[in-house]
Amino acid sequence: MEEIRQFKRKIKIKVRFSDLDAMRHVNNATYLTYLEEARIDYFNELFNRKKESLDFDAVIGRIEINYLYPIVLGDDIEVFTRVSKLGTKSVDVEHIIAVKKGNELIKAATSLTKLVYYDYATQTTKVIADEVKNRIAKYEGLNI
């Protein structure tokens, strides 16, 4: 998977029994939890926040998931995360979920999440702070 080299951040997840559906593979809704864990890890690491930090000024505007390969109980998966686009009020977060089989990574899913920056006090969208944009751009090598 050549495109994985574009991702600087990854987390590892062990599939649990509770992640499965009646068909004995990871339930489609569980992928959202995997993406959430990876997204929180990405931003906590990038902004040096504590792992338990919930201080985040964005909401999810959209999530797209492409399911490519089934994940089953006991699989070791790696979730790769990157910000691929910076807007005025939103960022695009891309993910690849891969299953590790020996030394090989098999792409199980790809995802695009649109995060919209949000002011909880006024309940309106807001412009991304320059400090935030600059840090993401520098980390990802994006032009702003």
Instruction: Classify 43 as helix, strand or coil.
Output: helix
- Per the structure, the complete domain to which residue 117 belongs is given by 2-140
Place of tokens 């931003």: 43
8-state DSSP, 17: G
Share of the chain above pLDDT 90, in %: 83
In tens, the pLDDT along 1-24 reads 678 888 999 999 999 999 999 999
Confidence of residue 52 (pLDDT cuts 50, 70, 90): low
CA distances 52 to 43, 45, 68, Å, are 12, 12, 31
**Number of domains comprising the chain:** 1
pLDDT at 53: 57
CATH number of residue 23's parent domain: 3.10.129.10
Distance CA 12, CA 87 (A): 29
Average pLDDT (25-49) is 93
Which amino acid does the sequence have at 15? V
Judge whether residue 132 has pLDDT over 90.
yes
